[in-house]
Amino acid sequence: MQADPCDALVIGAGPAGLMAAEVLARAGRRVTICDSKPSPARKFLMAGKSGLNLLNAAPLPDQIATYAQAADWLAPMLRAFGPDQIHAWAEGLGQPLFTGTSGRIFPRAMKASPLLRAWLARLDGLGATLHRGWHWTGGAFDFATPTGPRRLAPRTTVLALGGASWPRLGSDGGWRDHLIARGITCAPFQPANMGFSVAWSGHMTPYFGQPIKGVRLSAGDHALRAEFVLSARGVEGGGIYALSRHLREGAALILDLFPDLDASTLNARLARRPAKESRSNRLRKALGLTGARLALVNELTRHPDGATLKALPLPLGAPHPLAEAISSAGGIMRSEFDPGLMLHAWPGTFAAGEMLDWEAPTGGYLLTACLATAHWAGQHAARYR
């Protein structure tokens, strides 16, 4: 098959791919973007349906620390194109942002679609070409397209094919086999920012879908004050996602249902109730436990004293599957890259976004690292000849 010449190729039209394409185009490269789906950035659009959490307002050093083992690797990229620069970039696309009470930063439109439309229009104005329905089949740069097989011969390439969560939207991790075939080492995919199964009794059924608020959750040495949601399959929500890495690795989930009170205060309040009072009435009248919180205590312990309510174990089963996770862990290992995110085994080919082996909680950190790594890879790819 004859290969068509191409200056700068970007495979994947999610936020990482589009950012790399913008950087390349601004550097004067003629950019071709290929995406397997009929429309770009499907996961980005889906994430934005409930409010696009683009950034976080935490200080940059604190943000860098959230990337754990990958923090020192990503740090220069986040300093070069991090929250402040992304904030200015979004507003430059006509999308003013605001900071919520939790420190999460959103577009005022609260959706991804206006930002994406403006972004695609900018890329079109920069001369970038977007091919929809072009599925990378491996080899060098072979594609299955709506008009038949095509092969490209790029001078430089950025791979931005996402991780392996939400495969129906395009991030199916199928690229991993192509890279392994070239001798590139990839860490196995694992679910990240996901829920966990719990073997609830039938008594919990009326409370599925309800949040448990104002609790302190801990997993090993890691703890935070947050909320989570009870579901028929187990537990999910922000507090669970934030600890998901540690829970996935085997740490026990411990709940402090009264983070503002000590055990002795709780015991004193319980002791004031009549001895013949039922357990549920005693908990309700002494401690204000009602609804889902009361049901959870009754589910998890027969001896709800102060110490137990301050350290209530919630036994977890398996994590929810990768296809249902918000993001994925694993991907191309750090050792496979040079400092500019070019693959040692594939000169001229760079990678960015969730393809890289890093993991972060929700709260704006996922998109921030996708955009930062893509900006970095795009800059280095633009200089490759």
Q: Which residues neighbour 363 within 8 Å (Cβ) at sequence distance 6 or greater?
A: 53, 56, 102, 103, 104, 238, 242
Residue of 310, 315, 72 lying closest to 200 (CA atoms): 315
Residue of 325, 372, 359, 247 lying closest to 47 (CA atoms): 325
Q: Are residues 59 and 113 in the same domain?
A: yes
**CA–CA gap between residue 297 and residue 310 (Å, rounded):** 11
Residue at which a domain ends, from 266, 285, 313: 313
- H helix or E strand, kind and range, residue 149: strand 148-159
Residue 258: both structure tokens together:
């009264």
What CATH number corresponds to the domain at position 22? 3.50.50.60
**CA–CA gap between residue 337 and residue 36 (Å, rounded):** 25
Q: Are residues 161 and 60 in the same domain?
A: yes
Q: Are residues 181 and 58 in the same domain?
A: yes
For residues 166 and 352, the model is more confident at 352
Side-chain-facing half-sphere of 119: CA atoms under 13 Å: 26
Q: Are residues 8 and 153 in the same domain?
A: yes
Percent of the chain with pLDDT over 90: 95
**CA–CA gap between residue 347 and residue 287 (Å, rounded):** 64
Strands 142-145, 97-99: pairing is: unpaired
Q: What's the whole-number mean pLDDT along residues 188-192?
A: 97
Looking at every residue in the chain, the average pLDDT score rounds to 96
| Per-residue model confidence (pLDDT) at position 70 | 97
Q: Are residues 76 and 94 in the same domain?
A: yes
- Quote the pTM value: 0.94
| Per-residue model confidence (pLDDT) at position 311 | 98
Confidence of residue 336 (pLDDT cuts 50, 70, 90): very high
Q: Are residues 287 and 227 in the same domain?
A: yes
Query: Does the pLDDT value for residue 23 go beyond 80?
Result: yes
Residue 278: both structure tokens together:
């039922």
Per-residue pLDDT of 62-119, as tens digits, reads 999 999 999 999 999 999 999 999 999 999 999 999 999 989 999 999 999 999 999 9
Written in H, E and C, the secondary structure of 152-166 is EEEEEEEECCCCCCC
CB 34 within 8 A of CB 134: yes
Residue at which a domain ends, from 289, 313, 337: 313
Q: Are residues 44 and 106 in the same domain?
A: yes
Q: Are residues 307 and 342 in the same domain?
A: no
**CA–CA gap between residue 186 and residue 280 (Å, rounded):** 52
Task: Tell me whether residue 5 is exposed, middle or buried, using C-beta atoms within 10 angstroms of its C-beta: 0 to 12, 13 to 18, 19 or more.
Answer: exposed
Query: Does the pLDDT value for residue 168 go beyond 80?
Result: yes
Q: Are residues 19 and 157 in the same domain?
A: yes
Confidence of residue 1 (pLDDT cuts 50, 70, 90): confident
| Per-residue model confidence (pLDDT) at position 385 | 85
Query: Does the pLDDT value for residue 256 go beyond 80?
Result: yes
Confidence of residue 296 (pLDDT cuts 50, 70, 90): very high
Structural domain boundaries, residue 261: 196-313
Per-residue pLDDT of 27-51, as tens digits, reads 999 999 999 999 999 999 998 787 8
Residue 262: both structure tokens together:
């000590």
Give start and end residues of each alpha helix (H) in 104-205.
113-125, 175-181
Q: What's the whole-number mean pLDDT along residues 130-135?
A: 98
- Start-to-end CA span in the chain (Å): 24
Domains: count for the chain: 2
